[in-house]
Structure formats: C-alpha cells, structure tokens
Amino acid sequence: MNLPYSIVTTLFIAFVVWLGAYVQPGNAGVPAGTEPRAPQNTAESTLYSATEIEQRFQLIKLSGITAALPLKDVTILWDRFTRQERLHQHLNTPSPDVYVLYRQFSEDFTQARITIGYKQTELEDSEDRTTYIPAGIYHPLPAPDGDITKAWSQIDFNRKPLAVIEQFRLSPSGELNAPKLFVLYK
Amino acid sequence: MEFLNWAFTPEQLFDMESWIGDWFFILALGLFFLELVCYSVRKQISWNLLGDSATNFVTLAAYIGITSTVIAGFYLGVFMYVYEHFSLTHLPMTCWSILACLLLADLAYYWEHRFLHSCGIGWATHTVHHSSPNFNISVAYRFGPLDGLFPLFFYLPLAFLGFHPLMIFLCEMLVQIYQTLLHTEVVKKLPKPIEAVLNTPSHHRVHHATNTEYLDKNYAGILIIWDRMFGTFAEEQETVRYGVYPRLNSLNPVKVFFHGFLKLARQIYSAPNWSYRWRLLANSPKWAWDQEQKLQAADS
C-alpha cells in the first residue's frame, strides 16, 4: 500500500475505533448501569463495617456547571446553578435529583473541582459537555436530621477521598430534600 | 464483560500508570539479568557487551533528565489544553475507552516510528536507539535526546478525539512496555498465529537490522498487522546484523547520545545551499547517504 492510501486507511481506522468508543454502552443511548445499586456479596464489601452499604455509581453523566473552588465557597456555585434557567427548563421530571460532585481535591482538602448538575437521563436535552461521576464503590455516610455537614464531618480524609457526592431530591417547590452523601476513597 | 463499563478517575489512571511503569522497570532489569545469564552460558558475554549495556542506561538517565525538565510540563500542558478546549467530545474513562485508546495509540506509534526513520530530524534522535551492535532488553532503554518530543505530534490527535490525556499517556506507556519486551535474542520464533498478528522479538530483530532487505521494515508497536497492511513488513529469514551504517564503535555515552545530532549538524554546516539543508531535515537518511556517496564518487 503506498503512502497516501496508508494515511487514508489510517484515518478510516481511527474514525471507526473512535466511533466504537463514542457509542460504547453507557456513552450513547440508554446508559448502562446508571442507577446506583448495592453490590453483590463481594469480598470488597467485607473490608468495611457491616453498617456501611457500598454503592457503585457507573457512568452517571451530569449536566450542570463546574468550577474549581474552595469548599467553603460552594454557595457561589449554587447561586450560579440556580440561575441556569435553560438547564432547569429541560428537566423531564418534577422532582429530579441534584448531584454535587467534588473531585480533584487539593492536598489539604480545602479546594476541589466541583460540579453541580442533574443526571442527563432526567433532562430532555443534554448538554454536549458532560461530567462523569467516577465509577467505584462509594461509601454512604449518614446525614442525621438531614444535615449534610454532619455527614461531611464523618469523612476519613486520611483515606484520601477521590470523590465526594452529595445527592439531593429537588421538590417541585424548589427545596432540596433527603440529602445523601457518598465518598469514594483511594 | 461488565468490567468494560468500569470507569476511572484521572487520579486512578495516573496511579495505574506509575505503578505499572515502576514495576515494569524492575521486571525489565530482572529479564536483562536473565539475558546476561544466557549470554554467559553460551559464552557470548564480553566487556564490550556489558559496556554497551551500561551506556544504554546512561542514555536512559539523560533522556529522563531532558524529558522531565524540559519536555514533560510542556507535553502535559499541550495535551490538557487540546483536551479541554478543542476535543470533539470527552469520552468516558472506562475500560472500553482504554481499549480503543490503546488500539489508536498503537497505530499512532506505528506512524511516529515510521516518521523517525523517514526524515533526517527524526533519525538524528532515533539513530541512538539503533546504534547498538547488540540486541537485548537494555537496548530498549537506549534513547536519543528528542525521543520524548516527537510522540507529541502523533498522540495529540487522540486528545482531540476526546481521550483523556492521562489515558493516552497510560496507553503510550503500555505500547512502550510491550516494545521493550521485544528486544531480545533469547526468544526465537513464536507460534504462527501470534507472529501473524502481534509484533514479536523476531519481527523486531528485523527492524533493528542493517541487512539491506530488512531496512525500514517492521515499525509496529504491539500489532504487526499495521506493517502487513501498509507494506512495511519483512519476515526474519537470514541472520540479522544489528547497528547502523556507518558503525558508531563507541561506548562513550555522551558520544552515543548526541552522535545523531552532531552528524546532522555537520551535514547542515557543509551543505551547498538552503534547499539541501531543508532536505537533510525532511528527507530520509537514505537520501542523505545517497547524496554523500554521489559526492564521494564525484570527488574520486
């Protein structure tokens, strides 16, 4: 095969492989395993206390807004999120879940890359730019009296969290209810 | 097959890459030691071989020095910038994506490798790797000064396609690791189905040969099918003679590391005009060799 044909063939192969990656299960059409689920009786689950019920998030795609911020400034991002009229208008359910994803923490865990958004499956028209919730076994932490800060205080930062997820149920009146917190440790 | 849907964080990919890279180096040193034992048993070991191997590791240190201080930050920055601002999409960091990325990284490796053999500027750095008259695991670590730069141009399109830079680096490293294992004379031929699809020590010996019929053949990283497809494949038949022409005949690591660029600089300095200088950079080393032969013939 001469050089021009070789280059054209290479481009064709690259396109086919890329297309395969693009339409992989979970990335197009109906995402596979998008619902958090309790794991099977795996060996991993015995590593932790019996009161912890690990949850595995797989390929949950969020549409929302992202910023690298000090954790104490997350309210700024919440303000921006509430002003995302276009995003809220595309909701296909009256009471969706709102996710707050914290990842790429600074060494001292005072800053992180924070995303606030909806699951794409709960939107009629998803944004092109999406954020993936890192898959893995998450450890739920209880939020007594619905106080999410009490859940945060139970995070073991010595175990180097890779990601923290806050999950809220948004009521039709705009209130955030039923807070849940999940941690993915290194 | 559920594992294919598992996704990773960038941190996990980075940890994976570091872990594999570090431990593979230990494994490679172990394999090199076994090769030395085999050479000893066959009474083929010599001070020259040991000196050449030591030189290989010195070039590795020099390569790491240049790459980590000059190239790495720039390299990562460019990849992240393209991924954040110009990528078609952001592909999920799943095993599916890693498999696709690995396949494309292997294809990119083929073209990068072919490029290094096809132009003067590429050959100036890559000739270091080929200049050893021996063929063992240590030769895989014989690097030239700019070996860390050229992959940028061939792997960057993967960031444009939406693969995360850390995934690309992981796959780039996996291809390199596979390549490293091919540098051995201990393994002869593998079963035919393997030789048909995968790159093997036999195929890679051909690539390091100076035998005329083996020149510019077998550029593949993991899959030899790229060479078969693009017409650059040759089967190992006659005994391979390793090295480059003209022979380097030196164990001096400084000379080994820089000899390609020194030679290119000398050629450029003594070139008759700017057109010729440009061709020295862009044309194949064989073109430069042919020109030198013509000049010598004319002089005599």
> Residue A85 is part of a domain; what is its CATH number?
3.20.80.10
Q: A37 lies in a domain?
A: no
Contacts of A24 in chain B (CB under 8 A): 4, 92, 94, 96-97, 100
**pLDDT in the model for residue B279:** 93
Closest CA of chain B from A10, distance in Å: 8
- Examine the domain organization and report whether A22 and A66 are in the same domain: no
Claim to verify: residue A8 and residue A65 sit in the same structural domain: no
Same domain, yes or no, for A51 and A17? no
Q: What is the pLDDT of residue A93?
A: 85
Grade residue A99 by pLDDT with cuts at 50, 70 and 90.
very high
Residue of A nearest to B159 (CA): A18
Number of domains in chain A: 2
pLDDT above 50: residue A46: no
Percent of chain B with pLDDT over 70: 98
Residue A33 — very low, low, confident or very high, per pLDDT cuts 50/70/90?
A: very low
Q: How big is the A-B interface in CB pairs under 8 Å?
A: 91
Residues of chain B with Cβ-Cβ distance to A14 below 8 Å are: 104, 107, 157, 161
Task: Assess whether A73 and A156 both reside in one domain.
Answer: yes
When mean pLDDT is compared across A56-60, A77-81, A157-161, B160-164, the lowest value belongs to A56-60
Q: Which among B246, B96, B47 has a CA at the least distance from the CA of A25?
A: B96
CA distance to partner chain B, nearest, from residue A107 (Å): 13
Residue ranges covered by each domain of chain B: 2-230
Range A164-186 average pLDDT: 87
Name the residue range of residue A13's domain. Answer: 1-30
How much is the pLDDT for B121?
94
Domain co-membership, A12 together with A72? no
Of A51-65, B73-87, B268-282, B285-299, least confident by mean pLDDT is: A51-65
The pLDDT value given to residue A32 = 30
A109 occurs within a structural domain: yes
Contact A135 B90 (CB under 8 A): no
The pLDDT mean for chain A works out to 78
Specify the pLDDT at position A28: 41
Task: Looking at the structure, tell me whether residues A17 and A51 fall in a common domain.
Answer: no
Tell if the CB–CB gap between B91 and A22 is shorter than 8 Å.
Answer: yes
Confidence at A26, pLDDT banded by 50, 70, 90:
low
DSSP string, chain B: -GGGG-B--HHHHHHHHHHHHHHHHHHHHHHHHHHHHHHHHTT---HHHHHHHHHHHHHHHHHHHHIIIIIHHHHHHHHHHHHHHT-S-----BHHHHHHHHHHHHHHHHHHHHHHHHSHHHHHHHHHHH--S--SHHHHT---TTTTTTHHHHHHHHHHHT--HHHHHHHHHHHHHHHHHT--SS-----HHHHHHB--HHHHHHHTB-SGGGTT----SSBTHHHHHHT------SPP-BS-SS------HHHHHHHHHHHHHHHHHT-SSHHHHHHHHHS-HHHHHHHHHHHHHHH-
pLDDT of residue B247: 84
Q: Where does the pLDDT of residue B260 fall: very low under 50, low under 70, confident under 90, or very high at 90 and above? A: very high
Indicate whether A34 pLDDT > 50: no
My answer on whether A26 and A50 are in the same domain is no
Percent above pLDDT 90 for chain B: 62
Residue B266 pLDDT level (bands cut at 50, 70, 90): very high
In a domain, residue A106? The reply is yes
| Domain shared by A16 and A57, yes or no | no
Question: Dihedral sign, CA of B124, B245, B33, B27?
Answer: positive
pLDDT at B5 over 80: no
Tokens of B155: 């792997």
Is the pLDDT at A128 greater than 70, yes or no?
no
Residue A155 sits in the same domain as residue A69: yes
State pLDDT tens for residues B105-133: 999 999 999 999 999 999 999 999 999 99
Q: What average pLDDT is seen over chain B?
A: 90
Q: Averaged over A143-155, what is the pLDDT?
A: 88
| Residue A166 located in a structural domain | yes
For the ranges A159-173, B40-54, B74-88, B200-214, the maximum mean pLDDT occurs at B200-214
